[in-house]
Chains A and B, each alone.
Chain A
Amino acid sequence: MTSHRRPIRWHIGIFLAPAVLVYSAFMIFPLFGTLQLSLFTTSEQQTSFVGLDNFRILFGDPRWSGAFWNALVNNVWFFVIHMLVQNPLGILIAAVLSNPKLRLRGFYRSAIFLPTIMSFVIVGFAWKLILSPLWGIAPDMLKAVGLKFLFAPYLGKEEYALTTLALISVWQYVGIPMMLIYAALLSIPQEVIEAGEVEGVTGFAAFWKIKLPLILPAIGIISILTFVGNFNAFDLVYAAQGALAGPNYATDILGTFLYRTFFGFQMQLGDPNMGAAVAMIMFLIILTGVCIYLFGIQMRMTRYQL
């Protein structure tokens, strides 16, 4: 027995230790810390356990629930726009790009991907200036094509601001689905496409009937990436509209709501416990999405592939 026992392999621990320590201390532990904070309340420097009261307040108390549901509904709309515009557009560009006979592919790809590497601060302000009625680039250009009547101060109007911001974010991030779908399209074996051609399936039909089903796993990946990114978004709204997510909270999403709840803003005092509750709701939303993806979509897909 003892002769078979290997000595303790210290090097495994040493290889793992730095990563596990930093990751546990700043990623896992804070998640639990936030969960714990969300179950307490602080008044006059006394911390007391309140169970799920913070969540009840968030969902139902008139002082909080209006702002919370507004942010949640806005966030859902923000995500819907991305799913309806960003991902189909990305797939379309990738499909056009994947034609192997096309020249300048590398150039188009790099150019269309360029906005993706810019920070939200740059993108938010750049579009704010371009859409500003003061500067007049957007109205002048619409006038040039005879569509002047379409212009409105999009970021300043409650009814358009959120959709406009979502479209700006689409403009910035369309490069990611484009790139992932492009790679998936390139990995389709040539024989499959040729077999379709022999059967007379070419052009658009080939894309719809042969390629699209084969890139479904990639579409699953871009959908979950979009979901996580959107329900965790903050920077663009903060940069373009400020922490108050104006006009009149029309562009408030969970990220900006969390920021204001936690830090306070203007008249409102910051409340770490309520902030933690908001963060936990975001965590549950993202976790639900990820679980649906992992157990519902990805597993079924591998089964079909086999």
Chain B
Amino acid sequence: MRRVRHTVPNVLLAHVALAAYTVIALFPIFIIIINSFKTRKAIFRDPLALPGPENFSLVGFETVFRQGDFFLYMQNSLIVTVASLFFILLFGAMAGFALAEYRFKGNTLMALYLAIGIMIPIRLGTISILEIMVATNLVNTLTALVLVYIAQGLPLAIFILSEFMRQVSDDLKNAGRIDGLSEYRIFFVLVLPLVRPALATVAVFNMIPIWNDLWFPLILAPGEATKTLTLGSQVFIGQFVTDWNAVLSALSMAMFPVLVLYLIFSKQLIRGITSGAVK
């Protein structure tokens, strides 16, 4: 009986605390979104009110669509993110397979070399990276961003994927070898489909930092044609500081794709983080 008496108020307390923090976590996002649909007057007079028929306005979004090329920015972000993820997964899985499957001289050394980038941020080499991009004429191209993000994502991808590939049964691979499959077919046909959950985890992990990055787009690809959504919104908001409708609408526009992705992938992401931490 004593136990019951104690747990009920405890659970209630837990709910109160968590609900309070949830409000703190969501309030700023909520307030930006509701105000982006209101008239300028309503934004200032009654910032906490929900948009209704008497104060509804899309004037901010109109400015955003007229003045900023948000669809282009979104397209750039999408191209950069998808291309980077594809190559991180492909190259990362190939290298992870080589490290997990074959015993060769320098295997451990190679694994260590590839792991340096897990802890050392790639940003520290920015000045040299920019020199390389200038020398190869890649400044203001999406290719420059993709190359940098591949290099950024590979270390952790190789680490996680090789861990998973070690768990794939040897019997399966050896059966394939007896059937005369080449090493490449064993990798692509037998092993790769089995590590799909790990591939998904790596993809979700890498997606957010690439999509949200401001540093490399600002330095390597600040041109109008190659702006990503993060950089595009930053520049747009900087120019329209005093136009509150436009700023709020731009923020909402920038939040939208991330919110959608989160709704789709949050389970995957959370499972990835928690399973990675247990290890």
Interface residues of B in 112-127 (CB under 8 A from A): 113-114, 116-117, 119-127
Question: By CB atoms of chain B within 10 A, which of A12, A99, A258 has the most?
Answer: A12
The reply to whether B128 and A34 contact each other, CB–CB distance below 8 Å, is: yes
**Per-position 1/0 for B84-107, Cβ under 8 A of A:** 000100111011011100101000
The reply to whether A27 and B152 contact each other, CB–CB distance below 8 Å, is: yes
Tell which of A120, A186, A290 touches B274, judged by Cβ atoms closer than 8 Å: A186
Judge if B65 is at the interface, Cβ distance under 8 Å. Answer: no
The reply to whether B98 and A16 contact each other, CB–CB distance below 8 Å, is: yes
The reply to whether B18 and A16 contact each other, CB–CB distance below 8 Å, is: no
For residue A11, which residues in chain B have a CB less than 8 angstroms away from its CB?
Answer: 182-184
Judge if B140 is at the interface, Cβ distance under 8 Å. Answer: no
Judge if A269 is at the interface, Cβ distance under 8 Å. Answer: no
Given contacts A184-B278, A235-B215, A279-B125, contact A23 B119 (CB under 8 A): no
Judge if A239 is at the interface, Cβ distance under 8 Å. Answer: yes
**Per-position 1/0 for A1-39, Cβ under 8 A of B:** 000000001011011101110110111111111100100
The reply to whether B28 and A130 contact each other, CB–CB distance below 8 Å, is: yes
Judge if A108 is at the interface, Cβ distance under 8 Å. Answer: yes
The reply to whether B11 and A18 contact each other, CB–CB distance below 8 Å, is: no
**Per-position 1/0 for B53-84, Cβ under 8 A of A:** 00000000000000000000000000000000
The reply to whether A37 and B154 contact each other, CB–CB distance below 8 Å, is: no
For residue A97, which residues in chain B have a CB less than 8 angstroms away from its CB?
Answer: 18
Tell which of A12, A20, A171, A287 touches B104, judged by Cβ atoms closer than 8 Å: A12
CA distance A243 to B129 in the complex (A): 21
For residue A234, which residues in chain B have a CB less than 8 angstroms away from its CB?
Answer: 123, 214-215
CB distance from B117 to the nearest CB of A (A): 5
The reply to whether B120 and A129 contact each other, CB–CB distance below 8 Å, is: no
For the residues of A in contact with B, the DSSP-based class is helix
**Per-position 1/0 for B127-169, Cβ under 8 A of A:** 1110110000000000000011011101100100000000000
The reply to whether A34 and B258 contact each other, CB–CB distance below 8 Å, is: no
Interface residues on A, range: 35 or more
For residue B208, which residues in chain A have a CB less than 8 angstroms away from its CB?
Answer: 117
CB distance from B97 to the nearest CB of A (A): 6
Judge if B203 is at the interface, Cβ distance under 8 Å. Answer: no
For residue A201, which residues in chain B have a CB less than 8 angstroms away from its CB?
Answer: none
CB distance from B19 to the nearest CB of A (A): 8
Question: By CB atoms of chain B within 10 A, which of A31, A99, A263 has the most?
Answer: A31
**Segment of A135-143, A145-153, A158-166, A205-213 engaged in the interface with chain B:** A135-143
The reply to whether B26 and A122 contact each other, CB–CB distance below 8 Å, is: no
For the residues of B in contact with A, the DSSP-based class is helix
Judge if B255 is at the interface, Cβ distance under 8 Å. Answer: yes
The reply to whether B25 and A112 contact each other, CB–CB distance below 8 Å, is: yes
Judge if A238 is at the interface, Cβ distance under 8 Å. Answer: yes
For residue A246, which residues in chain B have a CB less than 8 angstroms away from its CB?
Answer: none
The reply to whether A22 and B147 contact each other, CB–CB distance below 8 Å, is: yes
* Nearest-neighbor residue (CB-CB) of B235 within chain A: A121
The reply to whether B230 and A119 contact each other, CB–CB distance below 8 Å, is: yes
CB distance from A272 to the nearest CB of B (A): 5
CB distance from B257 to the nearest CB of A (A): 11
CB distance from B28 to the nearest CB of A (A): 5
For residue A28, which residues in chain B have a CB less than 8 angstroms away from its CB?
Answer: 113, 116-117
Judge if A125 is at the interface, Cβ distance under 8 Å. Answer: yes
* Nearest-neighbor residue (CB-CB) of B158 within chain A: A19
* Nearest-neighbor residue (CB-CB) of B150 within chain A: A22
The reply to whether A29 and B128 contact each other, CB–CB distance below 8 Å, is: yes
The reply to whether B126 and A9 contact each other, CB–CB distance below 8 Å, is: no
Judge if A102 is at the interface, Cβ distance under 8 Å. Answer: yes
The reply to whether B124 and A282 contact each other, CB–CB distance below 8 Å, is: yes
Judge if B172 is at the interface, Cβ distance under 8 Å. Answer: no
The reply to whether B117 and A183 contact each other, CB–CB distance below 8 Å, is: no
* Nearest-neighbor residue (CB-CB) of A144 within chain B: B48
The reply to whether B18 and A30 contact each other, CB–CB distance below 8 Å, is: no
The reply to whether B121 and A121 contact each other, CB–CB distance below 8 Å, is: no
For residue A111, which residues in chain B have a CB less than 8 angstroms away from its CB?
Answer: 22, 25-26
The reply to whether A115 and B262 contact each other, CB–CB distance below 8 Å, is: no
Judge if A96 is at the interface, Cβ distance under 8 Å. Answer: yes
The reply to whether B273 and A180 contact each other, CB–CB distance below 8 Å, is: yes
Judge if B221 is at the interface, Cβ distance under 8 Å. Answer: no
Tell which of A115, A221, A283 touches B29, judged by Cβ atoms closer than 8 Å: A115
Judge if A78 is at the interface, Cβ distance under 8 Å. Answer: no
Interface residues of A in 12-71 (CB under 8 A from B): 12, 14-16, 18-20, 22-23, 25-34, 37
For residue B244, which residues in chain A have a CB less than 8 angstroms away from its CB?
Answer: 129, 135
Question: By CB atoms of chain B within 10 A, which of A27, A123, A182 has the most?
Answer: A27
**Per-position 1/0 for A249-267, Cβ under 8 A of B:** 0000001001000110000
Selected A-B contacts with CB under 8 Å, 29 pairs = A9-B104, A11-B183, A14-B94, A14-B184, A15-B94, A15-B95, A18-B90, A18-B91, A22-B147, A23-B151, A25-B147, A26-B151, A27-B155, A29-B128, A34-B128, A101-B7, A111-B25, A115-B25, A117-B212, A118-B255, A119-B258, A122-B251, A126-B32, A137-B47, A171-B28, A179-B270, A183-B274, A203-B10, A276-B127
Closest 5 CB pairs of A and B: A30-B125, A33-B128, A30-B128, A119-B212, A26-B151
